[in-house]
Each structure stands twice: as structure tokens, then as C-alpha cells.
Structure 1
Amino acid sequence: MTDIAYKIVDAAEWRAAVAEGRYDGAAVDLADGYIHMSTEAQLAETARRHFSGRTNLLLLNVDLSRFGDDLVWEPSRGGDLFPHLYAPLPVATVTASRAFSVTADGEMTFEDDQ
């Protein structure tokens, strides 16, 4: 497993989370009972499947070494193991963020690459 995972968030939701010191999750996270994250290898497909056509997004780098039993690697798409956090995401565990959007055909476009 890896020590870094990625979380795609709405930029406005993240600003609110920073003010609170923690991110409780997007609607899908709250409905499923855990915060969905992806590895680097899973990221492009996650963006394509769940965020196509979206703008004002942030890609968060999350330091997984800071979590104990609240982090569970569980099978999802095609049996791939995804990192799921069964707790709020502390803002302090995010080591970097990048603004981006996802085109209608699912390509990630980072603002700092333009």
C-alpha cells in the first residue's frame, strides 16, 4: 500500500472544511459512511467516472501514515483496493492541493499547467 492517497473535493467545500479543521465528506461520502480516496493509479478513472464536466475542484494529497484503524483498504471497481477513511479527514493530513477541472470527456486539467 501507499502512504499517499488523493481526494477530489469541491473547492468551496474544502474552504469550509479548512475553517472547521476537518472535512466530513461530500454527499456520496456521507451517504456511504466513509471518505472515498484514490491511489495515484486510480485517480484518472475516479475523475472520469465521478467528476466529468466539473470545475472548481481541488486535488488533495492526503498523508495516510497519520491514520490508524479508521483507514481501511477495501475492494471496489474490478477488485481494486481503495483507501476509505471511516472518520472525518483532518485538514492537517493534507500535504498539498492543486486546483483543477475535469473536461466533459473525463480529462483532468490542472490550472497550474495552463
Structure 2
Amino acid sequence: MLYRIAESSDWQQARETGFFASFDLEAEGFIHASERHQILETARRYYLGREDLVLLEIEEAALAAAGILVEREWAESRQEYFPHIFAPVPVEGILRTWPFEATAAGELQLPEELELI
């Protein structure tokens, strides 16, 4: 599975159009995504304090079946590979979504279902 921290407005638009896309697809040519173990650090670095977020769980096999290229590319700043999705994601390939907000103490945490994996 791949994961994307998304703005609620982008997820709403995806539900209307049938495809998830975000600003980075247009600006950089791909959608940034994460493996499960990368979600919290990505959130801490780029989304801290945001309250309008949704966490998307994307089935990589569904992307492959739709002919959508996914490549893992090295991120020097994090010293690890990250998945990049090179096309809009069909909503059928998004298996689950969760509101992704900080707790009252300001801490980010994975949805309970992902913590059990």
C-alpha cells in the first residue's frame, strides 16, 4: 500500500471527478506518496498544524493494473526512497481514507487500523 496525505479539497474533487490529483502532479509531474513507515515523519515535516487533511490508502496493484507508473526515488534529505505516482489516481484504487489531524496535544498519529499492521 501507498499513502498520501491530502488536502480535504483535493479529496473532495477526486470524489467528484473520479481521479485524485494534487498540486505536485502539475508542478513536478508526479504525486508524492509514502510507505506506511514514512507517514508520520512526512506529516511532521510538511503538514504540522494543518487541520484540513485526509490520509489516503492507495493500492499499488490497482495503479499497475491501470497502467500508472510508480517509481521509488531517492530523497537525499530523508536518506530513503519514496514512491512517486506519475498520473492521477483513480478513486477505485483508493481503498480507505481517514481524517488526518493532530490530537489535542498537537501530536500526529496513525489511524488505529494502520498502527495494528
Q: Aligned residue for 2:30? A: 34
Unaligned segments of structure 1, at least 5 residues: none
Aligned identity (percent) is 31
Cα deviation, residue 67, structure 1: 2.4
Unaligned segments of structure 2, at least 5 residues: 113-117
Q: Aligned residue for 2:48? A: 52
Aligned CA-pair RMSD: 2.3
Equivalent pairs, count: 107
Cα deviation, residue 46, structure 1: 0.4
Q: Aligned residue for 1:17? A: 14
Going from structure 1 to structure 2, the CA distance change for 1:100 and 1:82 (only over 3 Å counts) comes to: same
Distance 1:29 1:97 in 2: 20
What is the one-letter code of the residue matched to 1:9? A
Is residue 10–residue 21 contact of structure 2 (8 Å, CA) maintained in 1? Answer: no
Is residue 36–residue 83 contact of structure 1 (8 Å, CA) maintained in 2? Answer: yes
* TM-score, L = length of structure 1: 0.82
3-state SS of 2:26 partner = helix
Cα deviation, residue 32, structure 1: 1.4
Give the structure with the larger strand fraction.
1
* TM-score, L = length of structure 2: 0.80
